[in-house]
Structure 1
Amino acid sequence: MLEHLQSQLPATDVILVREVPDRIDESATPGTVTPADRSFLNPALRPTALSR
């Protein structure tokens, strides 16, 4: 697990040019939710009223 973390640390120095986030937003508008996004109901996010 530590190796994975160490392998990803250089990514903190990456600076995206403005065009990259804009292109991402073009393909997936911010706030877009697809049916696949709704298919999993995380039990940790259920209201406590529904828990036993």
Structure 2
Amino acid sequence: MLRDIENGSPIEADQIIGDMMRRASSFSLPAPILSTVHAHLKSYEFRGSQRIAA
């Protein structure tokens, strides 16, 4: 995923980090760092989609 970010390519935030968050949730484990990482990656995805649309 780092290479994708460095190249400005699409990333798989939901597929990778989102899956880890769902797994933590299924065990009732808090995952504040994963939540923060996911929020930042979704922001990256959104910014990338805005560049494409412009």
Q: TM-score, normalised by structure 2?
A: 0.26
- Structure with the bigger percentage of helix: 2
Q: TM-score, normalised by structure 1?
A: 0.27
Bigger RCO (CA 8 Å, 6+ sep):
2
